[in-house]
Every structure is written in structure tokens, then in C-alpha cells.
């Protein structure tokens, strides 16, 4: 997928999700995870500056779905950030599992296909 198409997808979903107060960038990365999970995306948030960079694995079959997934994470960012600070270390695995399933369900409900 060429880069202007990714810009278009980001613009489309930035509008739909009412995120126009954010500056949204993206860059391609190679994720290297210790657990070998095949990660496709992530976000780097600068909340004060209202700037987010979506990190994307290059060459993935449904990059629009990944973009929306990461923007749903952005919508939940304040809540996520707050909750994470309250949790003890042994509560975090369950928390992340619930967060990811919530984000996946909301992304599915937004029907990217
Ligand atoms: Zn996620």
C-alpha cells in the first residue's frame, strides 16, 4: 500500500472517530517482541501536544483494520493510562487481555471492511 493511501485512511478514520483535535502521524517499523507475538501496530502518544504516531508493520493484509484498532486505543488512552497506574504488576496481564479484547470488539463494530 502506497503512503498517500495510508494518509487517506488515517484522514477518513480521524474524521469518523472525531479525533480532529489530534495530529496523527505514522511510520513503518519492525516490531521485535520477546514473546514473538506478531504485532502489527502500536501508538506513541504525546498527550500534552495532542500528537500521536501510529507505528505500523509494513506489508500487512488489512492495514485499515490495524489503523482503526490503534485509533480506538487512542480514544481509550486517558482511561488506559489512568487504569494502568492503579494496577499492581500481577493485575496487568489480565488488564491488557481485557483491554485488547475491548479494542478488538470496538474495531469490529466500526466495520472497516
Ligand atoms: Zn491493541
DSSP assignment of 52-88:
EEEEEESS-TTHHHHHHHHHHHHHTHHHHHHHHHH--
- The pLDDT score that the predictor gives to residue 73 is 98
Q: Can you read off the three cell numbers belonging to residue 66?
A: 490495524
As averages over each run of 10 residues, the pLDDT of the chain (113 residues) reads: 87 97 96 86 96 95 96 97 95 95 97 75
pLDDT at 113: 67
Count the neighbouring beta carbons within 10 Å of the beta carbon of residue 66.
22
Longest CA–CA span in the chain (Å) reads 42
pLDDT of 112 reads 74
Distance from Cα 97 to the centre of ligand 1, integer Å:
9
How far apart CA 111 and CA 113 sit, in angstroms, is 6
Half-sphere exposure of 47 (CA within 13 A, CB side): 10
pLDDT at 1: 65
Q: If you measure from the C-alpha of residue 103 to the centroid of ligand 1, how many angstroms do you get, rounded to a whole number? A: 6
4 C-alpha to center of ligand 1: Å? 24
Amino acid at each position: 500500500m502506497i503512503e498517500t493511501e495510508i494518509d487517506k485512511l488515517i484522514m477518513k478514520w480521524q474524521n469518523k472517530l472525531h479525533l480532529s483535535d489530534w495530529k496523527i502521524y505514522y511510520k513503518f517499523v519492525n516490531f521485535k517482541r520477546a514473546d514473538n507475538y506478531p504485532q502489527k501496530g502500536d501508538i506513541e502518544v504525546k498527550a500534552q501536544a495532542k500528537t500521536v504516531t501510529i507505528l505500523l508493520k509494513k506489508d500487512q493484509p488489512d492495514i485499515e483494520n490495524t489503523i482503526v484498532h490503534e485509533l480506538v486505543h487512542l480514544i481509550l488512552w486517558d482511561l488506559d493510562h489512568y487504569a494502568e497506574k492503579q494496577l499492581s504488576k500481577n493485575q496487568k496481564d489480565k488488564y491488557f487481555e481485557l483491554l485488547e479484547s475491548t479494542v478488538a470488539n470496538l474495531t469490529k463494530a466500526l466495520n472497516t471492511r
